[in-house]
Structure 1
């Protein structure tokens, strides 16, 4: 049997894997990327398309800023247009006591590059007159924006292929082993691929592979709920989302230059992981309509022309798994981005390529280590004693 070899094998062809393949080739590494279905088919291609930094975990902003610098260089970077627009991003709230929370975030040193401005009261409604009367305040990020998620992963994969990466779609992994310092990936059709370094970017399926290497994580899967309206005159360039602790109030929207308004938020569905199917939740779409009327009263009579979902991986602390394995040399992870990985995609690819190529990275990713889910030796001893008693 022929063993197809490269410096790095990547399992998973979403935005993270495709971007990593591109940046690894830029660094001179030979790459084979294996995707079970089609590039960008699941979370990467069906998300809302937010290219936002504000509202993230403060420890993630260094990574988000690195990614934002790459977004600004598109399409020069990959010779493709992802319809990125730095339109501004507005995070609004319905309660006066939530405004100080937005102010505290804006004042954090980590958020300095975002140039956030807090609006409230009359100033808010003068600046954004289309917002409903329930909106009490908001945080405006002038540099954030949105892009077309359906274009992103395929564009990075094409760019990686032009640089010499081998991209294999419709290629399902059956088994992964590490023998004598080399990973061997066997596919369901009997082919084998080998490399000294392996990167797992398998999204909602990432934990299945990490568990094979003794690093299980408590990953949950959810289906985001999206809808798009008929086209209307382009008048809402700013992306707007609601900051709230009440799940049914979560709503966000963006209008694209063609005039359609894309809507996300609300209740998520449970995908069928065996058949790899995601479902639209009717109550979520109905709730989106109610919440949109509250946030943006002028949309009340628009027609919804399409609804969809996807398959995303979520972790309990809402942070991804990203970085080297805690158990196996040469093994790396980037998965579980908890529904907010789209903006990070180029930065994740760049950071992982730097880490795999050089052994370190200039961007802090320690909070995302898979080791946070591995019990320490002291914890394991305590658990063993508890079981023994």
Structure 2
């Protein structure tokens, strides 16, 4: 079941031409469209379902620098800068608050495990620090779990996933951009060796560049273009509570729960230490590429073989512009959550903090996260198809980093100086012989 998401009224007409077509109405896609419009480019954004219908509305809602892969730190710093002023830009409250985030440590070994990452924090002046158990309880009064301390970043924050991307999409429309929903892009057309347009289910659009921000669908779309994008899916499971007074403002994660306060006064809750990897046909096709990541993170991953395998086995992998696509057959990915993980998370949270003892669950949902072999996104041009760009593979980090990713993607499309070094996010790292490395996941 999908969480409630703000609705975006689609634009009335599909233009015959634009400078850029953006495929995908999640946080990365709408942020890219907005950044391009602010640079003076005409934009058509096409979403096969509804804006923020998938993982962009189903995530935890954290906007964090803490614990990031070091390659992402400059980009999240740019994202946090954008988040702070986003209300003014989109003329709406997207719920961003600098509430601070705690990573609770149950023993000294966990505390020491964060020391290497703190070197990155010091270099980038993030402000993260290790604090004692007593200091942790000052930040989060009432915490009853036995802990050794916590990794704490007071400048990290939260925003509202169900509100943010829709608000940005409406700002795109206000600046003259086109936002189409229930409008799948079937394929990309080329002329003279570069992108010349797209064909959607509602007709063609001539353009000079295409940005694919398709989330969990990106690998399938790329495959039809003859491009191999190494990307798999991880199931994220989240629940929300009804309004709960007296509970913490600061967000936190422990070994078996994570939470953040919502704008409606309730809380989003997830398991802090485990995720579910969906076994699909691509799991076997990409076994070698993802083996190093699995060997490093196997303790925090639970494999699941279910309906998703059968569904993807049946999907067409090749089609032409006149054929209906899997994107039209399945408008919104809406998987069932892992109920066992959510039951554990809520029970553990109730024991850890008395304010949650009376928490009443309102809803739970699942979402499919697009992951890469090194858990770092692809924000890049594609050399084999000039004019085609990728913004995908955010590996569960995409909501907080989305605004900065959109800014970087717009810079690359426009040929401007990039806001941060794009080299760590290049698509070619998976095929040019580069060593693909996996940093410890936090």
Q: If the length of structure 1 is used for normalisation, what is the TM-score?
A: 0.88
How do 1:194-273 residues align onto structure 2 when only pairs under 5 Å count? 194-242=206-254, 249-256=255-262, 258-265=264-271, 266-268=274-276, 270=278, 271=308
Structure-1 residue corresponding to 2:396: 339
Q: Tell whether the 8 Å contact from 1:34 to 1:168 is kept in structure 2 after alignment.
A: yes
Decide whether aligned partners of structure 1 residues 103 and 129 sit closer, same or farther in structure 2, where only a CA change above 3 A counts.
farther
Match 1:19 to one of 11, 31, 35: 31
1:138 has 2:146 as partner: no
1:64 has 2:59 as partner: no
| In 1, Cα distance between equivalents of 2:121 and 2:236 | 32
The CA deviation at 1:134 is 2.7
The alignment partner of 1:332 has SS state of strand
| In 2, Cα distance between equivalents of 1:59 and 1:229 | 34
The CA deviation at 1:368 is 1.7
Structure-1 residue corresponding to 2:282: none
| Per-residue CA distance 1:215-240 (angstroms, 9 max, x = gap) | 31221123311111232214411011
The CA deviation at 1:41 is 0.6
Deviates more, 1:305-314 or 1:338-347: 305-314
1:308 has 2:308 as partner: no
| In 2, Cα distance between equivalents of 1:269 and 1:302 | 28
| In 1, Cα distance between equivalents of 2:180 and 2:338 | 33
1:46 has 2:58 as partner: yes
The CA deviation at 1:341 is 0.6
Deviates more, 1:117-126 or 1:326-335: 117-126
Deviates more, 1:306-315 or 1:117-126: 117-126
The alignment partner of 2:85 has SS state of coil
The alignment yields a C-alpha RMSD, in angstroms, of 2.2
Structure-1 residue corresponding to 2:348: 291
Q: Tell whether the 8 Å contact from 1:102 to 1:138 is kept in structure 2 after alignment.
A: no
Match 2:376 to one of 316, 319, 323: 319
Decide whether aligned partners of structure 1 residues 280 and 109 sit closer, same or farther in structure 2, where only a CA change above 3 A counts.
closer
The CA deviation at 1:142 is 1.1
The alignment partner of 2:152 has SS state of strand
Deviates more, 1:260-269 or 1:91-100: 260-269
The CA deviation at 1:375 is 5.1
Gaps of 5+ in 2: 1-13, 279-307, 316-329, 435-442
Match 2:201 to one of 185, 188, 194: 188
Structure-2 residue corresponding to 1:387: none
The CA deviation at 1:50 is 0.4
| In 1, Cα distance between equivalents of 2:427 and 2:115 | 32
Structure-2 residue corresponding to 1:129: 141
The CA deviation at 1:167 is 1.1
Structure-2 residue corresponding to 1:159: 171
Q: Tell whether the 8 Å contact from 1:106 to 1:112 is kept in structure 2 after alignment.
A: no
| In 2, Cα distance between equivalents of 1:111 and 1:134 | 31
Structure-2 residue corresponding to 1:77: 89
The alignment partner of 2:16 has SS state of strand
Decide whether aligned partners of structure 1 residues 128 and 234 sit closer, same or farther in structure 2, where only a CA change above 3 A counts.
closer
The CA deviation at 1:127 is 3.8
The alignment partner of 1:63 has SS state of helix
Decide whether aligned partners of structure 1 residues 333 and 61 sit closer, same or farther in structure 2, where only a CA change above 3 A counts.
same
| In 2, Cα distance between equivalents of 1:231 and 1:351 | 37
The CA deviation at 1:96 is 1.1
Decide whether aligned partners of structure 1 residues 40 and 119 sit closer, same or farther in structure 2, where only a CA change above 3 A counts.
same
Q: Tell whether the 8 Å contact from 1:182 to 1:194 is kept in structure 2 after alignment.
A: no
The CA deviation at 1:165 is 0.8
| In 1, Cα distance between equivalents of 2:246 and 2:227 | 48
Gaps of 5+ in 1: 243-248, 378-389
Decide whether aligned partners of structure 1 residues 319 and 54 sit closer, same or farther in structure 2, where only a CA change above 3 A counts.
same
Q: Tell whether the 8 Å contact from 1:51 to 1:343 is kept in structure 2 after alignment.
A: yes
Deviates more, 1:195-204 or 1:207-216: 207-216
